[in-house]
Amino acid sequence: MIVRVLLAIASVVVVFLAYVTTRSGQFLYERSEVIQAPADQIFPYISQLRKGGEWSPYEKRDPQMTKEFSGEDGRVGSKMTFKGNREVGAGTLEVIKLVPGELVDLRLIMTKPMKADHIVEYRLTPEGTGTRFTWTMHGDGGFFGKLMSVVIDCDKMIGGEFELGIENLKKLVEARQN
């Protein structure tokens, strides 16, 4: 009887893992909102890694996070290496592309809690009397990412962090408008 139960459990696990392998590892998370300010007043907060601490939800999750900066902040090649608690993890954020007033592309290399290599994009687009700020992250989560996407709603989890960050940035920039 125990052997049959163990075989049934093993069969379910094999079928589940087979299903996971059929899923795409590619992901795209994106959120946006209009900030009532011109792009040139938002751009320094998204292009200068040192200013990220003023609005990033990740930096707010661990006030004791250690950060080391290299390169000229706000320029392609500038980096922030960070090490935080279990919620934040550890890794490097590098500016890989800048279009003043329009776009910042970052490479996020995570080393903990799991290894990952993703692209983060911040886009600014004029809209009405303000500027639409769009925060995107995309990449390939590999097998672990596939497994996570079956077990939890990653778009909701990551997107929720983006929404919080956008709200923080919006409050920060709009408060300086008044």
Buried b (16+ CB within 10 A) or exposed e, 26-39: ebebebbbbbebbb
What percent of the chain has a predicted confidence (pLDDT) above 70? 83
3-class SS at 172? helix
Question: What pTM was estimated for this model as a whole?
Answer: 0.82
What mean pLDDT is reported for the chain?
86
Of 8-12, 17-21, 80-84, 173-177, least confident by mean pLDDT is 17-21
What tens digit of pLDDT does each residue of 120-174 get? 999 999 999 999 999 999 887 665 665 566 566 667 767 889 999 999 999 999 9
Query: What pLDDT, on a 0 to 100 scale, did the predictor assign at position 149?
Result: 62
Question: Among the CATH numbers 1.10.3720.10, 3.40.720.10, 3.30.530.20, 3.40.50.620, which is that of 25-177?
Answer: 3.30.530.20
**Is the model's pLDDT at 2 over the cut of 60?**
yes
Tell me the C-alpha distance between 6 and 108, whole Å. 41
Tell me the C-alpha distance between 98 and 96, whole Å. 7
Higher-confidence residue: 14 or 97?
Answer: 97
Domain definitions of the chain by residue range = 25-177
**Is the model's pLDDT at 17 over the cut of 80?**
no
Query: What pLDDT, on a 0 to 100 scale, did the predictor assign at position 7?
Result: 72
Q: Tokens for 140?
A: 């390939």
pLDDT class of 113 with cuts at 50, 70, 90: confident
Query: What pLDDT, on a 0 to 100 scale, did the predictor assign at position 177?
Result: 75
Look-up: residue for tokens 């792009």?
39
